[in-house]
Every structure is written in C-alpha cells, then in structure tokens.
C-alpha cells in the first residue's frame, strides 16, 4: 500500500478523510489550533442546520473569501524569476552607485516579465509590449529598473497614461476585447496621438510577439543620470541584451500557440530555469553628456525617441542571470512591487515628463494593490541591506522602531541619522523657467524615428508590419479612424501607407497627416563616451 492509502479512511458519511500519521503534520487553524475534521461543518444532527459556532468553518471560508487582491492596473499578467546581477568593471568614473564599483560582484535580483493590456488570465502570445521589470537588491537599497521590451513609449507626458490605457483595455460597454485584436477605441486614440507613431511601428513589428521572454531585449526607455562621487552627471540609457539573441514568432504561430498553450511563455521560463538552462542578459549603457544632448536631433527627455545604436554604441557593464524560480507565485511574483522611484545614490532621474509621472504612479498604485503602506515588509519587496527609519504602525506593521525614540532630532543620541556623504543626492540642475503647461517644441517630430525604425527592418519584417496594421485596422469599424491612420502611415513610408490603404479597400488615399516638423533621416554622429 502507498503512504497515500494508509492515511485515507472513511468518515461517518462515507466521505474520504486524510488523517495525520507518522511525520504528517497535523492540520491546524490559522491560529494554530489542531483540527479534527476538515470535511464536515458542525451541525445539529447529521442533516443540519449548521452552527455558527463552527470557528474552523468560519475561518476557512473567511480566508478563502479574501484570497484575491486587485490585479495590476496594467501589466496584470506576468511571470517572475530570481537571479543575480554581476558587475563587469568599475563604473566609478560615472556613478557612485555601490553595485557598479567592484568587478565580479554579484547582487541578488528579481525580474518580472509581463504583457501590458491583458488581464491576469489572458494569454502569453498577445501582440503587446512586454514589461521587463528588474529589482536589484543593492547594498544601498533596491534599484528598480522598470522597463519594457520596446525602447520608446506611446506618449510623452504621464498625464496621458490613463487615456492610453483606457483606450487599449476592454471597452466599458462590451468588456472586450483584449490585446489580441484591434478595436475602435485604441485606434481612435492612436490616430489622434501622432506622438505614438514611433511606438506603433514597434508594436506592429515582430518585437511585439516574442518567441519567449528569453529572446527579448529590455529597455529603461527614459534618459536617466549617473552621478559620480563628485556629483558630476552623465546621461544614461539602460538596455538589456539577451545572450540568446532576439527571436519572435509570426502572427499565424502566435494565434495557434495562444489556443494550444496560453501559458507558453511562462512554461518556457519555468522549464529553462528548472533544467539549469539559465537565461542571461547583458546590461548595456548608452552614455552621453550635455554637449551630445544639445547636439542630438531629438530631445533626450522625449520618451518617444531613442538614441540609435549606430550613434552611441551600447556598452556592456554587467550581466543578469536568472537561476531560480519563486517558491510561491503569489507571495513573490504577484506581490512584488516595482517602482521607478527606487534608485540608489549615484543614479538619478532626468526631467522626462513620463518618468516624473511614473515616480508618483507606482508608489500610489502599490497601496491600492497591496493594501498597506507596509508593503516593504513583504519579503520580496524588503531591501536586503541594513535599513533603519522611524516609520511605524499601519496595517500589518512588522517592524516598528525599537525602544523609546521614534523621531529625530532627539537628545538621546538614539536612532538612525541622515548622512549627506553616503545618502541620496539629487543632481543640482539649474532651472530658470516659468511654470507652464506646455509641450516643448523639441518634442514635435513624431515621424522621423518611426520611419527610421521601419527602414531598419528587413523585407519580410516590413511585410509583417504592413500585415499587422492591415489586420488590426480591419477590425476597426469606423472608416474615419482607418483613414486617419493611413494618413499617418503615409508620413512614415508612402508605400506602407498605400499598401495598408489598398488592403483595407480605401480607394482614395487621404492626404498625409500634418507633420509639425519636416521629417528627416539624417542623424548626427557623435562618439560614445568610454568606460
């Protein structure tokens, strides 16, 4: 007989019970009370009624009733893994961030990959942007590089984020569709938002249907600053390059995979890591100074633009290895809270208006999602370095200040104190400007880089873009929206616009959309900074 058989026996009603035997732990309530029967409620007589006195039933049901937390407002579907970041060589010349000082040093990390638009139960092969969120547990606090697999974004200002997400998520009346098929709301918004054209080219490309998480790049998107010990600033863009290279599926495959195995990307990561086939990415940086920023054709604060790699070559500065799956999906992958505001001393923000808004949004949303200002007490979110502060109480507080003193200054010499030398210091940028709600002129060219991306694609890849646009726009009922999109495409590539129009049965080509700035292809060359 198996162990299983030995512990099974029949209860009074013939139902099967599993009882503790040998080393099997005794089932308890959450309060630790041993349980005698977990299959029958306490009743008056075998046929009831049930008694409210049954605390075991009430506790079991109460806890089950509260198992769900809100899914993320975006990037709801995701999959995470543990690993480490290893620094290649010292970046002390550019940053005082502790994790970049000592070659060969490994720092623990947790990564969550995600899709943006679908709900938690959606399928993996949706045509969508993939989130690539990395939490590195440095000796100076957690650094969260909350990126995507696409180097640019739909919008230039965070105030538009609720609009773009409302437009892409299921429509309020009908509650569908998800990211798999196009719909009027999304394309209506996009066709009225020329700044999204560069991102749209990437989203319609094969980049948006990766073969697996292991074959994707990751981008910090925004321009950040590195600050060295002397507080000298260097601008930086962060890029993760997969050791396995880039691979995508084609749309036909994506549709079939979604039907056959909606968890395809999850399973791929799980199986790779469990079989010791650890995926790896190199962290590359594009470094540049104010002089380059001033000479570049685009504004480095504009998140709809990238710096072409031909102009500033990304330099590898370390590697990320994922070598362990979480023990518990909910505790770790679901409860992990990434926040762009989490940067260690030596890494600072730029004034990118999308980044500045994100710095508010992530902290704000974690309170709603995780339900308590103490979400850093959850192990996956806790720093792995010494920490000390005077924050106390609140839901689920686990680590109140110890002793009598919970404030500063205090005359007892107790408790932690700020340290101007080691603490976070913002770059002391001089700004002299009126307080306004204005978009800078330097953010106005919406087509040049969209065209540059389209031109960088091979023939088959360009065809995929045309097919994706045709497929998506064919789902749009409103002809005006279709035509408005074609008018934008004509600004990006005439043949692309004409092909899509033809496939959509638009007989008379619309006039190209008004381009605020004359599109241009020529981009300046400038040497990369050396490490």
As annotated, the active-site residues are: 75, 148
Q: Which stretch binds ligand HEM (CB under 6 A): 72-80, 379-387, 488-496, 520-528?
A: 72-80
Distance separating alpha carbons of residues 214 and 77, to the nearest angstrom: 17
| Contacting ligand HEM within 341-370 (CB under 6 A) | 354, 357-358, 361-362, 365, 369
Least distance CB 418 / ligand HEM (angstroms):
29
215 is in an annotated binding site: no
The H-or-E segment that residue 185 falls in is helix 184-191
Tokens 């999906």 correspond to 329
What is the contact mask toward ligand HEM in residues 108 to 137, using x (rule: CB under 6 A)?
----x-x----------------x-x----
Least distance CB 377 / ligand HEM (angstroms):
16
- The CA distances from residue 113 to 105, 124, 339, in Å, are 24, 11, 15
Binding residue (CB under 6 A) for ligand HEM from 56, 77, 78, 254: 78
Q: For residue 438, count other CB atoms closer than 10 A to its CB.
A: 8
Q: Number of residues in contact with ligand HEM, rule: CB under 6 A?
A: 27
94 is in an annotated binding site: no
Contacts of residue 68, Cβ cutoff 8 Å, sequence gap at least 6: none
Q: Name the CA dihedral angle for 39, 329, 21, 40, rounded to a multiple of 10 degrees.
A: 0
Q: Vertex 309, ends 303 and 314: CA angle to 5°? A: 95
Is 488 a binder of ligand HEM (CB under 6 A)? no
Whose Cβ is closer to ligand HEM: residue 253's or residue 364's?
364
Binding residue (CB under 6 A) for ligand HEM from 85, 94, 153, 187: 153
Distance, C-alpha 279 to centroid of its chain: 18
* Long-range own/partner contacts, residues 306-313 (CB < 8 A, 24 or more apart): 306/151, 306/152, 306/219, 306/237, 306/449, 307/237, 308/452, 308/523, 310/525, 311/523, 311/524, 311/525, 311/526, 312/286, 312/287, 312/288, 312/526, 312/528, 313/286, 313/528
Q: Which stretch binds ligand HEM (CB under 6 A): 143-151, 271-279, 411-419, 502-510?
A: 143-151
520 is in an annotated binding site: no
Answer whether 131's CB lies under 8 Å from 148's CB: yes
Whose Cβ is closer to ligand HEM: residue 161's or residue 213's?
161
Least distance CB 498 / ligand HEM (angstroms):
32
Least distance CB 268 / ligand HEM (angstroms):
17
Whose Cβ is closer to ligand HEM: residue 147's or residue 318's?
147
Whose Cβ is closer to ligand HEM: residue 131's or residue 194's?
131
Least distance CB 87 / ligand HEM (angstroms):
23
Distance separating alpha carbons of residues 512 and 489, to the nearest angstrom: 8
| CB burial string 446-461: b at 16+ within 10 A, e below | bbbbbbbbbeebeeee
Tokens standing for residue 211: 């073969």
Binding residue (CB under 6 A) for ligand HEM from 91, 117, 158, 312: 158
Binding residue (CB under 6 A) for ligand HEM from 79, 94, 143, 161: 161
Binding residue (CB under 6 A) for ligand HEM from 148, 178, 448, 462: 148
DSSP per-residue letters across 410-433? -TT--S----TTTS----------
What residue number has its CB nearest to ligand HEM?
131
Least distance CB 74 / ligand HEM (angstroms):
5
Whose Cβ is closer to ligand HEM: residue 110's or residue 123's?
110
| Contacting ligand HEM within 162-191 (CB under 6 A) | none
Binding residue (CB under 6 A) for ligand HEM from 56, 72, 265, 464: 72
| Contacting ligand HEM within 195-254 (CB under 6 A) | 221
161 is in an annotated binding site: yes
Q: For residue 297, count other CB atoms closer than 10 A to its CB.
A: 15
Directed axis angle between helix 479-492 and helix 494-503, to 10°?
150
Residues in the annotated binding site for heme = 72, 112, 161, 358, 362, 369
Residues making contact with ligand HEM (CB under 6 A): 72-75, 78, 112, 114, 131, 133, 146-148, 153, 158, 161, 221, 303, 336-338, 354, 357-358, 361-362, 365, 369
Residues in the annotated binding site = 72, 112, 161, 358, 362, 369
């Amino acid at each position: 007989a198996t162990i299983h058989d030995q512990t099974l026996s029949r209860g009074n009603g013939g139902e099967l019970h599993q009882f503790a035997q040998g080393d099997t732990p005794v089932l308890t309530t959450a309060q630790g009370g041993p349980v005698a029967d977990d299959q029958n409620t306490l009743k008056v007589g075998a046929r009831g009624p049930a008694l409210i006195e049954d605390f075991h039933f009430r506790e079991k049901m109460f806890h089950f009733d509260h198992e769900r937390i809100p899914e993320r407002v975006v990037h709801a579907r995701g999959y995470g893994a543990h690993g480490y970041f290893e620094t290649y060589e010292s970046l002390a010349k550019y940053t005082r961030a502790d994790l970049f000082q000592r070659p060969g040093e490994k720092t623990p990390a947790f990564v969550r990959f995600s899709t943006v638009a679908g709900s938690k139960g959606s399928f993996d092969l949706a045509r969508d942007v993939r989130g690539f969120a990395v939490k590195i547990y440095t000796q100076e606090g957690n650094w969260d590089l909350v990126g995507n697999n696409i180097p640019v974004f739909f919008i230039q200002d965070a105030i538009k984020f609720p609009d773009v997400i409302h437009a892409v998520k299921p429509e309020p009346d009908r509650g569908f569709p998800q990211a798999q098929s196009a719909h009027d709301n999304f394309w209506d918004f996009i066709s009225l938002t020329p700044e999204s054209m560069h991102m749209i080219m990437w989203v319609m490309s094969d980049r948006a249907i990766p073969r697996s998480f292991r074959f994707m790049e990751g981008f910090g998107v925004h321009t950040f600053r590195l600050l060295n010990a002397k507080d000298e600033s260097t601008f930086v863009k962060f890029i993760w390059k997969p050791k396995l290279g880039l691979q995508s599926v084609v749309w036909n495959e994506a549709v079939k995979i979604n039907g056959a195995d909606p968890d395809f990307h999850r399973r791929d990561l799980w199986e790779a890591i469990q079989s010791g086939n650890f995926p790896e990415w190199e962290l590359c940086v594009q470094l540049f100074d104010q002089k380059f920023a001033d000479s570049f054709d685009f504004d480095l604060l504009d998140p709809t633009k990238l710096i072409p790699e031909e102009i500033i070559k990304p330099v590898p500065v370390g590697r990320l290895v994922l070598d362990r799956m979480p023990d518990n999906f909910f505790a770790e992958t679901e409860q992990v809270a990434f926040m762009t505001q989490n940067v260690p001393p030596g890494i600072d923000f730029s004034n990118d208006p999308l980044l500045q808004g994100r710095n508010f949004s992530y902290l704000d949303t974690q309170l709603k999602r995780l339900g308590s200002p103490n979400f850093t007490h959850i192990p996956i979110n806790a720093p792995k370095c010494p920490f000390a502060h005077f924050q106390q109480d609140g839901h689920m507080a686990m680590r109140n200040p110890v002793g009598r003193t919970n404030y500063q200054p205090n005359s007892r010499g107790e408790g932690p104190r700020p340290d101007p030398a080691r603490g976070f210091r913002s770059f002391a940028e001089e700004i002299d400007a009126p307080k306004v709600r204005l978009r800078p002129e330097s953010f106005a060219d919406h087509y040049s880089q969209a065209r540059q991306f389209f031109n960088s694609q091979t023939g088959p890849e360009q065809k995929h873009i045309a097919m994706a646009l045709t497929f998506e726009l064919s789902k749009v009922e409103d002809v005006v929206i279709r035509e408005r999109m074609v008018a934008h495409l004509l600004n990006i590539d005439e043949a692309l616009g004409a092909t899509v129009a033809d496939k959509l049965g638009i007989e008379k080509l619309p006039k190209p959309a008004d381009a605020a700035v004359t599109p241009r292809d020529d981009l300046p060359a400038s040497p990369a900074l050396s490490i």
